[in-house]
Structure 1
Amino acid sequence: MNVEGFAADGYEEVYRVFQQLVDSGLETGAGLSVWREGREVVRLNAGWADAGRSRPWRDDTLVMPYSLSKSFVTLAALVAVREGALALDDPIAEYWKEYGVRGKERTTLRQVLTHQAGQPRFPAEAANLDLLDDAGLRVSLAQAAPEYVPGTSLGEHALTYGHLVDGILRAAAGTTLGAMFNDVVRPALDLDAWFGIPDQELDRVADLEYAHPDWPQQLHAAPWLAIPDGALDTGRTNSRAWRQAVFGAVNMHTTASAMAAFFSHLTSEDGPVRQLLGPQLHTELLTSQVTDYDEVFGTRITWTLGFVRDKGKIAKGGIGGSAAWWSLRHHHACAYLTRQLDDHSRAARIAAALGDDLAVVGED
């Protein structure tokens, strides 16, 4: 498979590592983008966008990066906060009345956005619901008891994050997660990214595939992804119905260039994210909110409102190997988006070529 695209002077090692991933068979379809000082300095594409190996991966190929989607769910929620529809530290139940039961009466939006709401997975009662039963899954969360007292423990809300925010937005702001993202967040940030892909964009979407047949069973996070059935089933996630639905925790579809461009502006004081949220909420977005052992990641981690942060980076990854980050040390942004579902070792090798450490970005 040929690697197409460009790498500016000084980024030869990034190109070499990407080519090695392709030549070794570790990668069958991926996009890589690096931005620095307001311009794209690396844009590489390789492999195929489809399982039949008939569509080459292109600059504009869309792929689902799983939990990288969550960062944009956060932005949709924070837009509603800026508009005055709700507040970060008010009980959700003040708006979503049905939610305030069984120990969730004081749960706040901040606890949801920092994965401390005690609902890291859908309850057992949701096991018989279809993956795309949006309303049924929201109701299951509203009716369920949390797994721990909200605010007392930490675990990434692996599949529930988007449904929780969607329920809050419906109750507090009279809108949906999909509408807030596609009508407000996406155009404000000029993102080539979608929750619920329109018909005219479907031919750009890459098919997901397993790197190994038993990949889903090898995951540390598997117990948090089991209900409802199908989130790791490529038969479902490659379907038109899934691509055109909104499953906020995982099914945004986007390009590597779009994600790297977004992260390149993430911390900027005159950038589009700050303009969208305002100075106070922009600061909240990037500030470390909680550091603790995250049971879903299986390690100690620091969460901001929607991102993972350490001394070297602000980042978010998704199960399967996709990741994007802003390097606090080197002041560049990178996104590596793949359709071959495996661990994050490929993105970690790209990061190392850039002088970055990609430890703890997604749920391997």
Structure 2
Amino acid sequence: MSDAFARPGEPQVEGFVADGYDKVREVFQKLVHDGRETGAGVSVWRDAREVVRLSGGWADSSRRRPWSADTLVQPYSLSKSFVTLAALVAVRDGSLALDEPVARYWPEYGVRGKDRTTLRHVLTHRAGQPRFPAEAAGLDLLDDAGLRESLAQAAPEYVPGTSLGEHALTYGHLVDGILRAGAGTTLGETFNEVVRPALDLDAWFGVPDDQLGRVADLEYADPDWPHRLHAAPWLQIPDGTLDVERANSRAWRQTVFGAVNLHTTATAMARFFAELTAEDGPVRTLLGPELHAELLAPQVTDFDEVFGTRITWTLGFVRDHGKIAKGGIGGSAAWWSRRHHHGCAYLTRRLDDHSRAAEIAAALGDDLTVVGED
């Protein structure tokens, strides 16, 4: 193994790679050296040990704080996988059921064609609410109650269960509303008090005061990046979700906006995915065998209008013949390789496309096609 990698005058890449993983180091070093990456972490886990841990670039906008293995960063939609787990904990406990109408728990929600919407529809992005309604345009990003209420009052864009589109910003608020009504708890409480400790995750919805110093500042690779996204029409309401000034604020980091603002490390995400499918792993222990199987099983295959391609969703992940994965807009991604049996994560603060993670994946023999909304 090696501990640091850089030629004189180049940005430093810290960490280690086990024998056989030098190609990952070479690809990551080039990304940092060429300026395509200004702050990121890479982790690979195999056979219950971390075989790659690399950190490169800076964690802050002023470029004074080097990225380290314990740097926390917001990976956008990768967050959704952990919203799913919070919902399934309530199903495990009998407070919710996957195929009962949400209106059974949340009567205010069952209006304007949503009376038959189920939790399974929500978790598989078929609830017909892939974006917040126009009526929510004047709401602040942090108006949690107002945004939930806007979803409860709105008509779905299509009959629930009949079409597919990742619920890009609404996913967490929908699950949070269902948890509040049906389980008497919140998304943040369920994740931070049940899911996070059970899985021993270095990850937070609502970063506590004593962890704020570890959080990386987000930055655009190109100021025009938010406007070039295929998913842009689904990200306009509420205003500010792609505004790095808002994303880098203490208020945002300490709120819970479940669809996008988990804060975590590359090591935590790679280990989570490495353990995700294990029959003796912590996810199966948390959920039990039946719900664990539901979590990983293909639920729907169709054209996803937000991704702009045909896709297979499980209850919380994208699945194909090669991987079980989830990515986030801006370039972060994590996955379990069904071919090579390793868990991997590439988390970045430099908001751009997924080409960097894809190059890391290729160095491992993996294919990251369709992991996030570019």
Fold match (TM-score > 0.5): yes
CA displacement, residues 15-55 of structure 1 (integer Å, 9 cap, x when unaligned): 00000100110000000000000000000000000000010
- Does 2:322 align with 1:312? yes
For the residue of structure 1 that corresponds to 2:69, the secondary structure is coil
Give the AA of the match of 1:121. Answer: R
Tell me the equivalent position of 1:139.
149
CA displacement, residues 200-235 of structure 1 (integer Å, 9 cap, x when unaligned): 000000000000010000100000000000000001
Distance in 2, matches of 1:297 and 1:342, equals: 16
Q: CA deviation at 1:236?
A: 0.4
Task: Give, in angstroms, the shift of residue 242 of structure 1.
Answer: 0.1
Matching of residues 1-364 of structure 1 within 5 Å = 1-364=11-374
Q: Residue deviations 1:239-289, cap 9 Å, x none?
A: 000000000000000000000000000000000000000000000000000
Return the letter of the residue paired with 2:180.
Answer: R
2:4 is matched with: none
* Distance in 2 of aligned mates of 1:270 and 1:146: 40
Give the counterpart letter for 1:124 in structure 2: A
Give the Cα–Cα distance (whole angstroms) in 2 for the partners of residues 234 and 267 of structure 1. Answer: 34
Q: Gaps spanning 5+ residues in structure 2: where?
A: 1-10
Amino acid at match of 2:160: P
- Using structure 1 for the length normalisation, give the TM-score: 1.00
Distance 1:21 1:7 in 2: 16
> Residues 32-82 of structure 1: CA distance to partner in whole angstroms, max 9, x if unpaired?
000000000000000000000010001100000000000000000000000
CA distance in 1, matches of 2:244, 2:281: 36
Give the CA deviation at 1:303. 0.1
Q: Structure 2 CA distance, aligned partners of 1:48 and 1:2?
A: 10
What SS does structure 1 have at the residue aligned with 2:51?
A: strand
Gaps of 5+ in 1: none
Deviation at 1:175, TM superposition (A): 0.2
Q: Which amino acid aligns with 2:164?
A: L
| 1:294-352 CA-partner distances (Å, limit 9, x unpaired) | 00000000000010000000000000000000000000010000000000000000000
Q: Residues of 1 paired with 2:43 and 2:237: CA distance?
A: 34
The one-letter code of the counterpart of 2:49 is R
Aligned partner of 2:192: which letter?
A: N
Q: Runs of 4 or more off by more than 3 Å in structure 1?
A: none
**Structure 1 residues 142-201: Cα deviation after superposition (integer angstroms, max 9, x where no partner):** 000000000000000000000000000000000000000000000000000000000000
Looking at structure 2, the residues matched to 315 and 110 of structure 1 have their Cα atoms a distance apart, in angstroms, of: 19
1:86 CA displacement = 1.1
C-alpha separation in 2, matches of 1:235 and 1:206: 12
State the match for 2:8 in structure 1.
none
Q: Report the residue type matching 2:56 in the other structure.
A: A
Q: CA–CA distance in 2 between the matches of 1:47 and 1:181?
A: 30
Write the distance in 2 (CA, Å) between the matches of 1:182 and 1:230: 25
Q: How much is the aligned-residue C-alpha RMSD, in angstroms?
A: 0.3
TM-score (norm 2): 0.97
1: CA distance, partners of 2:264 / 2:245? 20
| CA–CA distance in structure 1, aligned partners of residues 229 and 148 of structure 2 | 25
Instruction: Tell me the distance in 1 between the aligned counterparts of 2:171 and 2:158.
Output: 16
Q: Distance in 1 between matches of 2:168 and 2:32?
A: 29
- Show CA shifts across 1:126-147 (max 9, x none): 0000000000000000000000
SS in 1 for 2:44: strand
